[in-house]
């Protein structure tokens, strides 16, 4: 792509998609016929540049409408937003769900990540390559294709697939966006034989728990109905929060000892208080709903089946932090969750739970939904800010921290979905009552995503302090009576736990005793038949693919880590096993010490834990 505008023009469909989002162009600055008054039009020049944050939605509009993003479409978007084409191309090419080269309008993304591997995804993909063709090859007269995909957040129904397609091209083979799980080769063949009815319907996940708070409405109310949510006690926490006021809300959240549920475990009350005290305005609230850690699906379940709870919780957080505008940044692989959240936001506005005068109390707050486009790195909060602002999703150096300079350079509260939904009970029943559940340093309940070879994979809510053994027993133990080999705790960025470590209490402090982390609540169970070498190779490939490439330690380290594991797996190390292990440890240490963000800092964690606890690659010998 040239740094300058080229002669390439958008198609009518591309132009219509962009105009439907941005409105028709009003001046020559934006691609309309030029007039003498263009220099004085408010949306020209600086006015257009101020809409840089519309770049990602505009790219989505074209991709959703046509299936890929052409040079002409980029030219048109850039004229509308006054962005250099090379800059926009750098953003469009950053995301895995976008294509800047011609591609079939319908793409079936078949997950081959860790949890789906345990359910036979490797064999499924091998069969598809034989029956359907290699990934990326067009089928159905060029209308459809399939690709391998990292985790789709459907681990409880693995193996899984996600269909993403253009809006309404002639002869379209299926719905524009839909998730399917579980799936098998025969069903995929049926889809590519132009019979999409053979694709299975996705049905709600299994959810259980011994102390259910967050999941109490899941499966029991209509997630599309404001009235159902209201009848189940919805928005009573918001009314109580208005009575408490900002200081009262922060006091209760602080007393609850609630910490972030996305992996960082930062105290929520301290974060909200820091933003509330910042004099610079405006303040922003961002819900990080980009859960992309392999094995994680808890936030998806909450958004799909209890979306009004997130809207209510965000409004309470906004009152506490003095925020007037909020964003939900949801991963692009969650079409159903995005649809239900959009409906919940609209209904909340209609019932005065969002907007310029919430419950007629003079409170102003509204929420905007932003879709990601397939980038694990955007789960990092500053990378997420860059993505919303219309830049590549690359992390920023810290300090300054988001509470001082976050989204658009303003003080910003960032929390994930599970963290925010916890606030409803805290406000209703008080921080001390909330802290009575769990342990002294890990209060409340926690959602755990149990998948892999568990007999009953699903989402489980238990009090902090429950042992890993008890959680696996809740999930029915290891399926088919097989022996447990290991558990991956915390996801690809987590650590492996051995069978003799199962009595570890699931608390932030407890898992440190076995050199593990809770992360975002991933629990992937592997039985005795699992090839751990293949799992480690998939983890290494995941981090290599998902590194944003901004910093050298991560960009180079993730590649070298994968290459080294491949050498060990093929029994062709460069030197002795001890030399290769030492090199692997050095690579991991450099990534931990020098990477800008958590991706590089944790990219070797699970791999190093497996090598420390299991006798892997022992058959490798020097060449």
Q: What was the pLDDT predicted at 36?
A: 45
Average pLDDT of the residues in 167-172: 57
Q: What pLDDT does 141 receive? A: 82
Cα of 523 vs its chain's centroid, Å:
17
What per-residue confidence (pLDDT) applies to 180?
A: 87
Closest CA to 424 of 328, 308, 518, 267: 308
Distance CA 491, CA 509 (A): 18
Closest by CA to 590, choosing from 599, 582, 598, 600, is 600
551-597 residue pLDDT tens = 999 999 999 999 999 998 887 767 677 888 899 999 999 999 999 99
Q: Which helix (H) or strand (E) holds 400?
A: none
pLDDT category at 621 given cuts 50, 70, 90 is: very low
Q: In what order do the strands lie in the sheet with 144-149?
A: 144-149, 106-111, 161-165, 177-180
Average pLDDT of span 403-412:
97
Instruction: Report residue 544 as tokens.
Output: 């290599």
Q: pLDDT class for 432, splitting at 50, 70, 90?
A: very high
User: What's the rounded mean pLDDT across residues 23-39?
Assistant: 62
Burial of 615 (0-12, 13-18, 19+ CB in 10 A): exposed
Task: Provide the mean pLDDT of the chain.
Answer: 91
Q: What's the gap between Cα 429 and its chain centre?
A: 30
Residue 605 confidence class, pLDDT cut points 50, 70, 90: very high
* Statement: residue 172 has pLDDT above 80: no
SS (H, E, C) 223-264: CCCHHHHHHCCCCHHHHHHHHHHHHHHHHHHHHHCCECCCCC
Which residues fall within 8 angstroms of residue 104, CB to CB, at 6 or more apart?
A: 67, 138, 139, 140, 142, 143, 144, 145
- Rounded average pLDDT over 165-177: 63
As a whole number of angstroms, the distance between CA 213 and CA 480 comes to 31
Q: State the average pLDDT over residues 410-436.
A: 98
Question: Model confidence over 112-162: pLDDT tens digits?
Answer: 999 999 999 999 999 999 999 999 999 888 889 999 999 999 999 999 999
pLDDT tens for 264-299 read 889 999 999 999 999 999 999 999 999 999 999 999
Q: Name the CA radius of gyration of the chain, rounded.
A: 24
What integer pLDDT is reported at residue 623 of this predicted model?
36
Residues 41-50 have a mean pLDDT of 53
Nearest to 81 by CA among 56, 105, 112, 109: 56
| Angstrom distance (rounded) from CA 458 to CA 474 | 10
pLDDT on residue 6? 83
Residue 438, token pair as written in the block: 């769990």
Range of weakest confidence among 167-176, 275-284, 580-589, 604-613: 167-176
Asked if residue 250 has pLDDT above 80, the reply is yes
pLDDT at 580: 87
User: Looking at residues 301-306, what average pLDDT do you find?
Assistant: 96
Checking if the pLDDT of 40 tops 80, the result is: no
**pLDDT score, position 572:** 74
Q: Tell me if the pTM is above 0.85.
A: yes
pLDDT of residue 622: 38
CA distances from 245 to 239, 248, 249, 316, 596 (A): 10, 5, 6, 9, 37
Confidence of residue 60 (pLDDT cuts 50, 70, 90): very high
Please give the pLDDT value at position 618.
66
CB 110 within 8 A of CB 148: yes
């Amino acid at each position: 792509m040239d740094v300058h505008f080229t002669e390439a023009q958008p198609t009518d469909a591309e132009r219509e998609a962009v105009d439907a989002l941005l409105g028709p162009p009003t001046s020559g600055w934006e691609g309309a016929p030029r007039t003498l008054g263009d220099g004085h039009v408010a949306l020209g020049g600086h006015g257009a540049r101020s809409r840089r944050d519309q770049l990602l939605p505009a790219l989505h509009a074209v991709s959703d409408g046509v299936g890929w993003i052409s040079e002409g479409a980029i030219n048109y978007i850039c004229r509308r937003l006054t962005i250099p084409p090379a800059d926009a191309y750098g953003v469009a090419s950053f995301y895995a769900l976008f294509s800047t080269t011609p591609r079939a309008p319908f793409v079936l993304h078949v997950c081959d990540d860790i949890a789906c591997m345990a359910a036979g995804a490797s064999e499924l993909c091998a069969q598809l390559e034989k029956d359907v063709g290699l990934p990326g090859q067009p089928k159905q007269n060029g209308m459809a294709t399939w690709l391998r995909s990292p985790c789709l957040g459907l681990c409880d129904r693995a193996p899984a697939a996600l269909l993403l397609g253009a809006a309404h091209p002639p002869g379209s083979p299926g719905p524009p966006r839909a998730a399917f799980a579980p799936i098998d080769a025969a069903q995929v063949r049926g889809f590519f034989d132009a019979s999409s009815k053979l694709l299975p319907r996705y049905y709600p996940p299994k959810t259980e728990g011994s102390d259910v708070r967050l999941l109490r409405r899941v499966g029991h109310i209509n997630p599309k109905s404001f009235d159902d949510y209201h009848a189940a006690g919805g928005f009573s926490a918001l009314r109580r929060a208005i009575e408490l006021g900002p200081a009262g809300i922060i006091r209760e959240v602080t007393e609850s000892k609630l910490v972030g549920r996305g992996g960082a475990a930062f105290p929520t009350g301290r974060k909200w208080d820091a933003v509330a005290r910042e004099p610079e305005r405006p303040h922003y609230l961002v819900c990080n709903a980009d859960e992309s850690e392999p094995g994680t699906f808890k936030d998806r379940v909450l958004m799909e089946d209890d979306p009004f709870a997130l809207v209510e919780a965000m409004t309470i957080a906004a009152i506490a932090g003095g925020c007037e505008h909020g964003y939900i940044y949801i991963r692009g692989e969650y079409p159903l969750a995005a649809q239900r959240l959009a409906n919940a936001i609209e209904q909340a506005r209609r019932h005065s739970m969002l907007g310029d005068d919430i419950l007629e109390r003079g409170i102003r707050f509204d929420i905007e939904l932003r879709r990601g486009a397939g980038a694990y790195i955007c789960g990092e909060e500053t990378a997420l800010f860059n993505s919303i602002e219309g830049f590549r999703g690359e992390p920023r150096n810290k300090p300054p921290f988001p509470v001082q300079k976050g989204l658009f350079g303003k003080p910003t509260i960032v929390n994930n979905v599970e963290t925010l939904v916890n606030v409803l009970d805290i406000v209703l029943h008080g921080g001390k009552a909330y802290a009575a559940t769990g342990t002294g340093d890990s209060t409340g309940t926690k959602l755990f995503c149990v998948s892999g070879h568990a007999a009953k994979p699903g989402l489980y809510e238990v009090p902090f302090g429950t042992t890993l053994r008890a959680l696996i027993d809740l999930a029915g133990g290891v399926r088919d009576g097989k022996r447990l080999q290991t558990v991956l705790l915390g996801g690809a960025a987590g650590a492996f736990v051995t069978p003799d470590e199962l009595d570890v209490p699931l608390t932030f402090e407890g898992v440190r005793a076995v050199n593990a982390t809770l992360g975002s609540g991933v629990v992937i169970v592997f039985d005795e038949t699992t090839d751990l070498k293949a799992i480690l190779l998939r983890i290494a490939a995941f981090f290599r693919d998902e590194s944003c490439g901004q910093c050298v330690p991560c960009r180079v380290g993730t590649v070298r880590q994968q290459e080294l594991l491949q050498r060990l797996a093929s029994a062709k190390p460069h030197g002795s096993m001890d030399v290769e292990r030492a090199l692997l440890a050095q690579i991991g240490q450099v990534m931990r010490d020098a990477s800008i963000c958590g991706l590089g800092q944790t990219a070797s964690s699970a791999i190093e834990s497996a090598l420390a606890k299991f006798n892997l690659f022992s058959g490798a010998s020097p060449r």
